């Protein structure tokens, strides 16, 4: 039984331990590189306008982003993971006062860090550019702060 458990744990996707990078356009078509944000914690949140938990977590992402932008230690990058017109995405975001960058990516089974199991999916990327945590499902500002505290003190 212990060997089976070890084998199953081996099969689970782990956080990546090496610097990662991607380039995606924002709503204006301007490319953004993940590496542009080195030196900061980056919360990468994949979401869609049709996703109820995605919509529910946006206010907490806004609060987290706003509370860290003055300190300069963390940023949120939202990745709109759907095939929707830019105008519709902009109209949707108008009601949420989102100031963090919103990037676009065509939906599919894989995202910028590999297989997507569902939306929302959120990654925590260290200031060195390493994915240190992945979470499928809603996040809250409390959870995000806990991640920073836990992973920032390793």
**7, pLDDT greater than 50:** no
Over range 85-107, report the average pLDDT. Answer: 95
Q: First CA to last CA across the chain, in angstroms?
A: 31
Single out the residue of 125, 6, 145, 118 nearest to residue 51, CA to CA. 118
Chain position carrying tokens 């590189």: 33
**80, pLDDT greater than 70:** yes
- The confidence score (pLDDT) of residue 96 equals 93
Query: pLDDT tens for residues 10-53?
Result: 334 444 468 999 999 999 999 999 999 999 999 999 999 999 99
pTM of the model: 0.88
For residues 128 and 142, give the distance between their C-alpha atoms in angstroms, rounded to a whole number. 23
CA distances (Å), origin 5, targets 8, 10, 14, 37: 5, 9, 15, 37
Report all structural domains of the chain as residue ranges with CATH numbers, in order of start: 42-152 (3.40.30.10)
pLDDT class of 153 with cuts at 50, 70, 90: confident
């Amino acid at each position: 039984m212990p060997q089976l458990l070890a084998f199953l744990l081996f099969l689970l996707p782990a956080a990546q331990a090496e610097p990662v990078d991607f380039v995606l356009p924002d709503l204006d078509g301007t490319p953004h590189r993940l590496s542009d944000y080195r030196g900061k914690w980056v919360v990468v949140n994949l979401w869609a306008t049709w996703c109820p938990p995605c919509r529910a977590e946006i206010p907490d992402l806004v609060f987290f982003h706003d509370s860290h932008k003055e300190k300069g230690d963390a940023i949120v990058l939202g990745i709109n993971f759907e095939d929707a017109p830019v105008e519709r995405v902009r109209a949707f975001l108008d009601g949420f006062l989102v100031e963090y960058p919103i990037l676009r990516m065509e939906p599919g089974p894989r995202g910028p860090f590999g297989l997507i199991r569902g939306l929302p999916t959120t990654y925590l990327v260290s200031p060195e550019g390493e994915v240190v945590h992945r979470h499928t499902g809603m996040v809250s500002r409390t959870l995000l702060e806990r991640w920073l505290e836990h992973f920032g003190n390793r």
